[in-house]
Amino acid sequence: MARTEQQSNDRFNGKWFWRYASPAAFYPVAGTIEKLCWFLAISLTIVGLYIGFFRAPTDATQGEVYRVIYIHVPAAWMAMVIYLAMAFWCAIGLAFGTRLSFMMSHALAPTGAIMAAISLWTGALWGRPTWGTYWVWDARLTSTLILFFLYVGYIALAAAFDDKKKGDRASALIALIGAVNVPIIYFSVQWWNTLHQGASVRPGGSSMATIMLTAMMIMAFAFWAYCIAVAMNRLRTQIIERERSAAWIQSSVRK
């Protein structure tokens, strides 16, 4: 009847739902998802941009410039959605120690950062003719800028560790801290914005024609598909890079 104090790490042996948490099992699945999403991304983009550029009418107040929303709004959405997805995988990774979750998060981060950057860039391009200036400290633009900083911090931190495993867990923790803080930052920026009387014109406006909305939703789905496709591609590259010493790589990856 001895009392014990122990460290142990073999939690997940033999449970069916962990099967796809193994990089080896997920590698081919990721390939299939990637192909499907590329197909969706390309076809939805063609349809969405066609409707948006050739079918949707010119905006009464903003003219042709408004058409940037077909890129700008989906990019801004994806920047937020991807951060949440990243935080989700980081939480799973920290809770269960699954390597694939961390890889998933690493695969998503650059795409999220690019989406934030695209949304800032197109926002500036839209702002020039509409507000008469490239940059306005509008609450949404400012929040997206801070979100971009959070992405940069995550990516830089993950790259700062020589020990990949430590880098995984450290960057996951900072992603979670960021996720907890995002609503607070959004709220405080909103507060700051009203305090300082920011601009009130927003891309799109409140009353959108149905056809404009349709084009924007199609583009939003196209962006989803694109982001998933790119993330899966990056994930596969990471799996190969990290598991290169494992035996299964030799047999299943030929090209």
Q: Which is nearer to another protein, 52 or 178 (CB)?
A: 178
91 interacts with another protein by CB under 8 A: no
Please give the size of the binding site for another protein, defined by CB under 8 A: 43
Least Å distance, CB 128 to another protein, is 26
179 lies in the binding site for another protein (CB under 8 A): no
Per-residue tokens: 228: 């998933």
Can you tell me the distance from the alpha carbon of 238 to that of 34, in angstroms, rounded to the nearest whole number?
Answer: 14
Q: Which of 19, 55, 128, 166 binds another protein (CB under 8 A)?
A: 166
Residue 218 Cβ vs another protein, minimum distance, rounded to whole Å: 33
For 12, other C-beta atoms within 10 Å of its C-beta total: 13
Stretch near another protein under the rule CB under 8 A, chosen from 79-87, 127-135, 190-198, 229-237:
190-198
CB of 3 to another protein, least distance (A): 5
Q: Which residues contact 161 (CB under 8 A, 6 or more apart)?
A: 167, 170
146 part of the interface to another protein, by CB under 8 A = yes
Q: Which of 160, 201, 209, 211 binds another protein (CB under 8 A)?
A: 160
Residue 138 CB contacts under 8 Å (≥ 6 apart), including other chains: 193, 198, 199, 202
Give the whole-angstrom CA distance, residue 161 versus residue 157.
7
**Among candidate residues 219, 192, 181, 215, the one with its CA nearest the CA of residue 40:** 219
Number of CB atoms found within 10 A of residue 212's CB: 22
For the CB of residue 216, give the shortest distance to another protein in the complex, in Å.
29
Burial group, residue 232, by CB count within 10 angstroms (0-12, 13-18, 19+): buried
Nearer to another protein, 47 or 146 (CB): 146
CB 87 within 8 A of CB 176: yes
Nearer to another protein, 109 or 230 (CB): 109
Contact with another protein (CB under 8 A) among 49, 157, 208, 240 = 157
Cross-strand bridge partners of residue 159: none
Using rule CB under 8 A, residue 161 touches another protein: yes
Calculated CA dihedral for residues 236, 118, 202, 195, nearest 10 degrees = 100
Tell me the window of 78-86, 164-172, 197-205, 215-223 that interacts with another protein (CB under 8 A): 164-172
Binding to another protein in span 218-247, by CB under 8 A: 242, 245
Q: Which of residues 5-44 bind another protein (CB under 8 A)?
A: 5-10
Specify burial of residue 91 (Cβ count, 10 A radius: 0-12, 13-18, 19+). middle
Which residues would be at the binding site for another protein (CB under 8 A)? 1-10, 146, 149-150, 152-153, 156-157, 160-167, 169-170, 173-174, 177-178, 180-181, 184-185, 187-189, 191-192, 195, 242, 245
